[in-house]
Amino acid sequence: MTKIAPFKALRPVRDKVQLVATRPYYSYKKNVLFAKLESNPFTFLHIINPEFGSASHTKANTKERFDHVSDKYNEFLEDGILIQDKTPHIYIYRQTKDGHEFTGIIAGASVEEYENDLIKKHEATLTTREAMFTNYLDIVGYNAEPVLLSYPHEQTIDDLLVRYSSTRPEYEFTTTDTIKHELWVLNEEETLKMAAAFETLKATYIADGHHRSASSSGLKKYRSTKGKTPFPNEDYFLAFFIDENKMKILEFNRLVKTLNNHTNDEFLELLSKSFTIESLKQAIKPYQEHQLSMCLEGKWYLLQCKPEIIDHNHPVNCLDAEILTQAVLKPILGISDLKTDENIDFISGAESIEKIESQITEGKFKVGFILFPITMEQVKKVADHKMIMPPKSTWVEPKLRSGLTIYNINE
């Protein structure tokens, strides 16, 4: 049984929604972030960056900084840029990118289900980041960026989504990245029917937002430990629920700065112990699992995993990202920690193969590996076995906007 909660969203007023809603601040280059803050007084980025234009600055991720975030948030409320719905709702959100529609619902996800592993995880979280996010929530009292949760296909939910999104949406706008956004506010009857439809689901899966989920779970315990009064809405957190068949899972590719003192020929010879190697005339992506495309100083190769390096009985060890780490990155290139080693970088499958090639031909990296995308079934198998995916295994779409529907924990 999956419990979803309607909530009284804080939302941008209709005439400013396209100006308020934003990609997460960390997705912007510094110069673009500066330009947006300078040119748009309504962007939610001003709440996340409350000291823009100020002569003095507090240290990032401190109580002082979070206090300023809270002050800026309250300023947006006082100025009428954000308003709160008077009654709880469930919301339908649709994002259209390159002709593909990502349609799902925005609602509260249950902290209890998270703790009981009915919201399943596949990523390890860092204690320091969890603590930082929990402290942030404790001070500001709201979720602004939904956790992305997937669920197995359920026709009843699909039928309701189609029916309820057939009317004119409350919001309809296109952003400069050519993505169209639509939001519907369900009435009381529609909200009840949608919540009932979700009760038939046995579990959901975190597709993106493990740290945000963990910090929301930790908030209640944190406030109890500190002797603080519980927040009225701390039993749920902001989430976007989407049918797993409607998501897109792209690969995360690897770029490496060093051959670990090997020549190209020596490197290829070492690779041949684990892979069948085929020279390519042009850049191509792998077309099936257990294949890797490799660009070595401008030359392209197709690597086919030899059977002996594939552990089909292990949910993690059979994944191409893990095979690459165990057969190449660690033993040959000397990269043991993908999270901290400065010799490796990652580039999403949303980027073109030409961009990957240019990074190597320009001398920024020595070698690049393009992986075949992991499937949702593989992700679920790892989560169901309570295991952890290799770092940077998936690039999941849709990427959601901050500030479109804000979940007020401290109503």
- Please tell me the least confidently modeled range out of 75-79, 150-154, 338-342, 364-368: 338-342
Q: What is the pLDDT of residue 54?
A: 84
Question: How far, CA to CA in Å, does 140 sit from each of 134, 161, 162, 400?
Answer: 10, 32, 35, 20
Express each pLDDT in 368-401 by its tens digit.
Answer: 999 999 999 999 999 999 999 998 999 999 999 9
Counted domains in the chain: 2
| Preceding omega of 398 cis (within 30 degrees of 0) | yes
For residues 215 and 360, state if they share a domain.
Answer: no
Q: What is the pLDDT of residue 153?
A: 96
Please give the average per-residue pLDDT across 86-103, as a whole number.
96
∠283-288-294 over CA atoms, to 5°? Answer: 35
The secondary structure of the chain, three-state, reads CCCEECECCEEECHHHHHHHCECCHHHCCHHHHHHHHHHCCCCCHHHHCCCCCCCCCCCCCCHHHHHHHHHHHHHHHHCCCEEECCCCECEEEEEEECCEEEEEEEEEEEHHHHHCCCEECCCCCCHHHHHHHHHHHHHHCEECCCEEEEECCCHHHHHHHHHHCCCCCCEEEECCCCCEEEEEECCHHHHHHHHHHHCCCCCEEEEECHHHHHHHHHHHHHHHHCCCCCCCCCCEEEEEEEECCCCEEEEEEEEECCCCCCCHHHHHHHHCCCEEEEEECCCCCCCCCCEEEEEECCEEEEEEECHHHCCCCCCCCCCHHHHHHHHHHCCCCCCCCCCCCCCEEEEECCCCHHHHHHHHHCCCCCEEEEECCCCHHHHHHHHHCCCCCCCCCEEEECCCCECCCEEECCC
For residues 261 and 210, state if they share a domain.
Answer: no
For residues 364 and 404, state if they share a domain.
Answer: no
For residues 273 and 205, state if they share a domain.
Answer: no
What token pair was written down for 75? 């300023």
For residues 10 and 77, state if they share a domain.
Answer: yes
For residues 26 and 156, state if they share a domain.
Answer: yes
Contacts of 135 (CB under 8 A, 6+ apart): 61, 63, 66
Q: What is the pLDDT of residue 98?
A: 92
Q: How confident is the model at residue 131 (pLDDT cuts 50, 70, 90)?
A: confident
Q: Which string of b and e fits 326-360 if b means at least 16 CB within 10 Å?
A: ebbbeebbebeebeebeebbebebeeebeebbebb
Q: What is the pLDDT of residue 127?
A: 81
Q: What is the pLDDT of residue 29?
A: 87
Please give the average per-residue pLDDT across 266-292, as a whole number.
96
- Report whether pLDDT(411) > 80: no
Note whether 343 and 335 are within 8 A (CB): yes
Torsions phi, psi for 316 (to 5 deg) = -95, -45
330 φψ region: left (φ > 0), alpha (ψ -120 to 50), beta (else): alpha
Tokens 């029917």 sit on residue: 193
The type of residue at 115 is E
- Report whether pLDDT(53) > 90: no
| CA Rg value for the chain | 23
Q: For the chain, give the number of residues.
A: 411
For residues 240 and 268, state if they share a domain.
Answer: no
Mean of per-residue pLDDT scores for the chain = 94
- Report whether pLDDT(27) > 90: no
Express each pLDDT in 344-362 by its tens digit.
Answer: 999 999 999 999 999 999 9
- Report whether pLDDT(17) > 80: yes
For residues 336 and 220, state if they share a domain.
Answer: no
For residues 234 and 308, state if they share a domain.
Answer: no
Give CA–CA dist 346/411, Å, rounded.
40
Q: How confident is the model at residue 1 (pLDDT cuts 50, 70, 90)?
A: confident
What token pair was written down for 224? 């109890």
Please give the average per-residue pLDDT across 257-268, as a whole number.
96
Tokens 């975030």 sit on residue: 69
Percent of the chain residues past pLDDT 90, beyond the cut: 86
- Report whether pLDDT(126) > 80: no
For residues 214 and 299, state if they share a domain.
Answer: no
Short-list 170, 100, 133, CA closest to 24: 133
Please give the average per-residue pLDDT across 80-96, as a whole number.
97
Express each pLDDT in 95-118 by its tens digit.
Answer: 999 999 999 999 999 999 999 999
Express each pLDDT in 208-237 by its tens digit.
Answer: 999 999 999 999 888 989 889 999 999 999
Structural domain containing residue 223: 4-248+398-408
Please give the average per-residue pLDDT across 271-299, as a whole number.
95
Question: How far, CA to CA in Å, does 313 sit from each of 71, 72, 393?
Answer: 53, 52, 19
Express each pLDDT in 141-191 by its tens digit.
Answer: 999 999 999 999 999 999 999 999 999 999 999 999 999 999 999 999 999
Residue 255: CATH number of its domain: 3.30.1760.10
Give CA–CA dist 49/58, Å, rounded.
11
For residues 332 and 276, state if they share a domain.
Answer: yes
Express each pLDDT in 69-78 by its tens digit.
Answer: 999 999 999 9
For residues 239 and 288, state if they share a domain.
Answer: no
Short-list 56, 31, 127, 28, CA closest to 48: 28
